[in-house]
Amino acid sequence: MGEDIGFWAVAGLLAAVGGLAVAAAMLDSVMGAAAMGHARPVAAMLDPVRETARLLVQQRSVVPASDSVLRLIGTGGIVLAAALAALVVPVGMRPVADLDIGVVWFNAMEVLVWAALWLIGWGSNAAFGLVGGYRIIAQGLAYELPHMFALITAALGAGSLRVGDVVAAQSGLWFVVWMPVAFAVYLLSALAMAFWGPLGQPVDEDLAGGAVSELAAVDRLVFLAGRYALLAVTAAFAVPLFLGGGAGPWLPGWLWMLLKTLAVLGVLVWARWRLPTMRMDRFMEAAWVVLIPAILLQALVVGIVVVARG
Amino acid sequence: MTLDAFLILAAALFAVGLYGALTQQSIVMIMMGLELMVNGVLVAGGAFWYFVAPATADGQLVVLVAVTVMALEMAMGFAATTAIFRARDVDVTDDAEDLKG
Amino acid sequence: MGDAAFWILAVGAVVTGIGVFQMDSMARATFLLLASFLCGAGELLLLGLGYLGMVIVLMMTMEMVVMAVFMVMYMMNPAGLMPMTMVHNQRPATVIAVVTFAGLVAGILLTPWPERKGARPMDSTMQVGEAIMGPQMLLMIVIGVAILATMIASVVLATDRGRYDRYGDRLERRRPDDPIPGGRR
């Protein structure tokens, strides 16, 4: 299935994902401070560093009779799934592991995140934790179909499930230009897959933190690292799918990739602070009755174009 | 990697699933046993494709059908469990013996 | 390399499969079953069936989280904090399982399996795609109809509300009276 994957390529990729996750956390706290009306929002940039230090010295807490094994698997699973998903995200024109089924691989890793989050909620032995775990399942099931069809639409336009081919197929025209609906659906369902912003109900404040309400200290730090990494990887994957990957004038491919990823990441973080949180039953209904028909029509249009082009 | 090794793995999964399906009382656990049996079919289908007839897609289609069967089996199983749980508060097979036809 | 991976995954699949029926905690049982499926999917990846392997990972993860929901709903003791035995027929079942396994293994070892016919395709995904969209399309049509029938049948079985509950005894309401909002208003 795959070719040999270099050790240094993987190490570099992990460093890049880690860096992007830190950037996402910093961007998040700056935008949050700005949204709250702080006088000097840029000063909030170092909040993630302070939070890391605080979590590192905090005492770990374990609820009696909680299933620690499952909770640890869940916490580590989020980081692992984000890292494995990053394997198929191209740095420049080609991913570290250019699997022939890269698009499906990415989707499978996102689904593993639901299982991981449910395990955290269950393993915490807390009512709010379990409710948060149920929320990610309901939301994941509702948004998986539009998400999957958005991924497949891009793959259909390229005629390949290989991410490198999807990038190569956009050398003339970026997919975002002729499949705007798929791009919009991808971004929206990416919010649900990364349980972020308006679709962040599984870990929302109204449940005192939901699935992760009982996580403290290092456990919470690992979870937060995984969560921001997941957000960054989900944002990064929009670039090879719809925004031409590393294509662009003057600058090298990896730099374009980075700039575009940061732009998408900025939009997602902006969405968290500027869009109202919706009630779950409302946005789940929207997924079933609006997004799925819309993305199916988009896939139909793309299919017709592909057939007509020959 | 030989055909025999893959098929023995498939047989082992099938037998473990069979044991589970026969011993468990809870309907949910019985379904887990059935899923494990189908897991054996998946492995066997893939192995036959690879070792015996890779030129046609028939082995792959067996896997595809088996995956669908699993999903359908689970959907119908849980629907039936929900129905009997609503009607009689039953979640183990021993309490539903009168359903045998 | 391939051999080592095969044996690790094979042992993993069987051990986690046995573990499913040894756990007190049903959550652990469910996710051990998922682990068994992931090992099985890994075997398919080894065989060059990348697409099917990843589809199994995708579908089984979804199925197991859904199963976890039903498990909490219907089982007396999902967390297994007070261990209890929920088995019957243990001895006959063990004998049946062992005999089945022995019979299958004997059959596997004694059968003269045919030699490989034809070459492996460059792209197994393309092969299965062309098969279900070409000569084997009937299979895909049947699968589609079966899924649709299951969706309808499972909803009919699982719901306890009919149209008289929703629209009134004389079907006089114009808008259905549902406990959960959503759908046609």
- For C131-177, how does the pLDDT look when each residue is reduced to its tens digit (9 = 90+)? 999 899 999 999 999 999 999 999 999 988 888 888 888 988 888 88
pLDDT category at A2 given cuts 50, 70, 90 is: very low
The pLDDT of residue A156? 92
pLDDT of residue A286: 87
Taking only the tens place, the pLDDT of each residue in C65-82 is 999 888 888 877 777 777
Query: For residue C121, what pLDDT is reported?
Result: 87
Helix (H, G, I), strand (E, B) or coil at C135: coil
For residue A213 the two structure tokens come to 């309400």
Average pLDDT, chain C: 88
Residue contact C58–A285, C-beta within 8 A: no
Check: CB of residue B91 under 8 Å from CB of residue B26. Answer: yes
The answer to whether the Cβ–Cβ distance between A100 and C125 falls below 8 Å is: yes
**CB distance B19–C55 less than 8 Å?**
no
Sequence-ordered alpha helix ranges (H) in C47-183: 50-74, 90-110, 124-132, 137-158, 163-167
- For range A1-24, the mean pLDDT: 78
pLDDT of C114 higher than 70:
yes
Instruction: Mark whether B and C touch (3+ CB pairs within 8 Å).
Output: yes
Query: For testing the chain C interface, which of B2, B35, B60, B65 should be mutated: the one with the most C CBs within 10 Å?
Result: B60
Domain ranges of chain B: 3-90
The span from the CA of A133 to the CA of C160, in Å, is: 26
Report angle CA A145, C129, A83 to the nearest 5 degrees.
50
**How near does any CA of chain B get to the CA of C71, in Å?**
6
Helix (H, G, I), strand (E, B) or coil at B26: strand
More reliable by pLDDT, C63 or A2:
C63
Look at residue C87 and give its three-state secondary structure. Answer: strand
Q: Residues near A112 by Cβ (< 8 Å), separated by ≥ 6?
A: A77, A80, A81, A84, C57, C61
Domain ranges for chain A: 7-309
What integer is the mean pLDDT of B1-12?
92
Q: Judging by beta carbons within 10 Å of its beta carbon (0-12, 13-18, 19+), is residue C25 exposed, middle or buried?
A: buried
Residues composing chain C: 185
- Which pLDDT belongs to residue B12? 95
Which of the pair, C91 or A97, is modelled with greater confidence? C91
The separation between the first and the last C-alpha atoms of chain C, rounded to the nearest angstrom, is 59
Fold (topology level) of B3-90: Helix Hairpins (1.10.287)
Higher pLDDT, A95 or A100: A100
- Chains C and A are in contact, defined as 3 or more C-beta pairs closer than 8 angstroms: yes
Q: Which of residues 16-45 of C touch A (CB under 8 A)?
A: 25, 27-28, 31, 34, 45
Taking residues A139-165, what's their average pLDDT? 91
Mark which residues 115-174 of C lie under 8 Å from B by CB. Answer: 116-121, 124, 127-128, 130-132, 136, 139, 143, 146-147, 150-151, 153-158, 160
At A64, the amino acid letter reads P
DSSP assignment of A112-158 equals HHHHHHHHHHHHTT-HHHHHHHHHHHHHHHHHHHHHHHHHHHHHHHH
Whether C87 has a pLDDT exceeding 90, the answer reads no
A-contacting residues in C 127-146 (Cβ below 8 Å): none
Residue A234: the pLDDT is: 94
Average pLDDT over chain A reads: 88
Best-predicted range by mean pLDDT among A5-14, A269-278, C13-22?
Answer: C13-22
Q: Which of A204-208, A229-233, A236-240, B74-78 comes out lowest in average pLDDT?
A: A204-208
Q: How far is B14 from chain C (nearest CA, A)?
A: 8
Higher pLDDT, A218 or A65: A218
Residue B8 has pLDDT above 90, yes or no: yes
ipTM at complex level: 0.91
CA A288 from chain centre, in angstroms, equals 21
Choice among A43-47, B18-22, B96-100, C31-35 with the minimum mean pLDDT: B96-100
Q: Which chains touch C (3 or more CB pairs under 8 A)?
A: A, B
Q: What is the pLDDT of residue A12?
A: 83
CB contact under 8 A, B14 and C155: no
**Set of chain A residues whose Cβ sits within 8 Å of the Cβ of C24:** none
CB contact under 8 A, B28 and C70: yes
User: Across the interface, which of B53, B57, B78 has its CB nearest the CB of C131?
Assistant: B57
Q: How remote is the C-alpha of B30 from its chain's centroid?
A: 10
Burial track A159-177 (b if 16+ CB lie within 10 A, e otherwise): ebbbbbbbbbbbeeebbbe
Cα dihedral sign for C146, C148, C153, C154?
Answer: positive
For residue C185, is pLDDT > 80?
no
Query: Which range has the worst mean pLDDT, A186-200, A272-286, B61-75?
Result: A272-286
A228 in Cβ contact with A25 (< 8 Å) = yes
Three-state DSSP class for residue C120 = coil
- Give the C-alpha separation, B51 to C47, whole Å: 9
% of chain C exceeding 90 in pLDDT: 50
Chains with 3 or more CB pairs under 8 A to chain A: C
DSSP string, A86-115: HTTSEETTEESS--TTHHHHHHHHHHHHHH
pLDDT given at position A1: 43
Q: Is A47 on the interface with C (CB under 8 A)?
A: no
Q: What subunits touch chain B, counting only 3 or more CB pairs under 8 A? A: C
Q: Can you give the pLDDT at residue A93? A: 65
Q: What is the mean pLDDT of residues C100-110?
A: 94
Per-residue pLDDT, A185: 94
User: Which residues in chain C are closer than 8 Å to A73, comparing Cβ atoms?
Assistant: 31
Of C63, C113, C153, the CB nearest to B52: C113
Whether pLDDT at A36 is above 90: no
Length of chain A: 310
* A308: its two tokens: 């007509």
Considering only CB atoms, which chain C residues are within 8 Å of B24? 21, 86-87
Instruction: Return the bridge partners of B26, or none.
Output: B92
- The Cα–Cα gap between A154 and C56 comes to 22
Q: What is the percentage of chain B residues whose pLDDT exceeds 90?
A: 60
Angle at A153 between CA A147 and CA A155, to 5 degrees: 105
> CB of A70 within 8 Å of any CB in chain C?
yes
